[in-house]
């Protein structure tokens, strides 16, 4: 489904070219469970952003479902993000002024789904993630675990085929972190490809496929 061919990403720092990714070729199938591990600065997050279409490669091609998505314009890339990709962040990234339910609804609003359909889907997600009694709470009234559950519910609200999680347990204690990983793993059983960036070998080790990165290269 995801296919990267000789993808590089470089930044100009002063008059020097700094490579964040060097010549990466990678295939990820639907329902794959991939963990990305490696030290800071090894390019994990850059690769994740690139797959999530938040960033463009400097060279190489990235095709999604057989289509070259690097050639798409901003509008078309936004649509692909909306329909196929869900993000889960380390710092949750909930909109502080919106309630849990409204945060979950956000991708549906952005996709232009009519209000009645949205409400039904949000209600289902709140129930699935045990947040029904927290629907009207704002993020600052929720615990870390609850916040990340809201974020996962939000990431899955558009039924994406790819879920990108960047250190989703980084701001959580161990047992809550474990719960969050369990929730994400359940999704892989529903044919969602999960790509998980982590520092924690215990968490990364649970993935069916483990990729290690160093200096912008995948080393196995």
Whole-number Å distance between alpha carbons of 90 and 151: 10
Using CA atoms, how far apart are residues 117 and 6, in angstroms rounded to an integer? 41
Question: Using an 8 Å Cβ cutoff, are 24 and 4 in contact?
Answer: yes
Q: CB of residue 175 vs another protein: minimum separation in angstroms?
A: 27
Block residue for tokens 């479902």 = 65
Q: How far apart are CA 48 and CA 35, in angstroms?
A: 11
The CB-of-154 to another protein minimum distance in angstroms stands at 7
Q: Which is nearer to another protein, 18 or 109 (CB)?
A: 109
* Rounded-to-integer distance, Cα 150 and Cα 199, Å: 23
- Minimum CB distance to another protein smaller for 82 or for 210: 82
Q: Is 19 or 89 the residue whose CB approaches another protein more closely?
A: 89
- Residue 52 CB, nearest distance to another protein (Å)? 7
On the 0-12 / 13-18 / 19+ scale of CB atoms within 10 A, 18 is exposed
Site residues for another protein per CB under 8 A: 49, 52, 54-55, 74-75, 77-79, 81-83, 87, 89, 93, 95, 97-98, 106-107, 109-112, 114-115, 154, 158
CB of 148 to another protein, least distance (A): 15
Nearer CB in complex with another protein: 58/210: 58
- Beta carbon nearer to another protein, 114 or 220: 114
Tokens of 31: 């329902």
Q: C-beta of 87: minimal distance to another protein in Å?
A: 5
């Amino acid at each position: 489904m995801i296919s990267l061919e000789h993808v590089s990403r470089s930044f100009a720092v002063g008059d020097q070219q700094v490579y964040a990714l060097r010549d990466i070729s990678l295939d990820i199938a639907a329902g794959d469970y991939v963990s990305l591990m490696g030290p800071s600065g090894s390019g994990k997050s850059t690769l994740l952003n690139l797959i999530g279409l938040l960033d463009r490669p400097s060279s190489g091609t990235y095709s999604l479902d057989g289509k070259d998505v690097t050639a798409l314009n901003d509008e078309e890339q936004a649509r692909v993000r909306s329909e196929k990709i869900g993000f889960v962040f380390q710092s949750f990234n909930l909109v502080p002024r919106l309630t849990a339910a409204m945060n979950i609804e956000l991708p549906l609003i952005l996709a232009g789904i009519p209000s009645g359909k949205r409400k039904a889907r949000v209600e289902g997600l709140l129930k699935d993630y045990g947040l029904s009694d927290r629907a009207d709470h704002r993020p600052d009234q929720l615990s870390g675990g609850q916040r990340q559950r809201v974020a996962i519910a939000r990431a899955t609200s558009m039924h994406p085929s790819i879920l990108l999680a960047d250190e989703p347990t980084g701001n959580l204690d161990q047992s809550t972190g474990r719960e969050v990983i369990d929730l994400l793993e359940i999704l892989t059983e529903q044919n969602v490809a999960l790509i998980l960036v982590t520092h924690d070998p215990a968490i990364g080790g649970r993935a069916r496929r483990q990729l290690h990165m160093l200096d912008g290269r995948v080393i196995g």
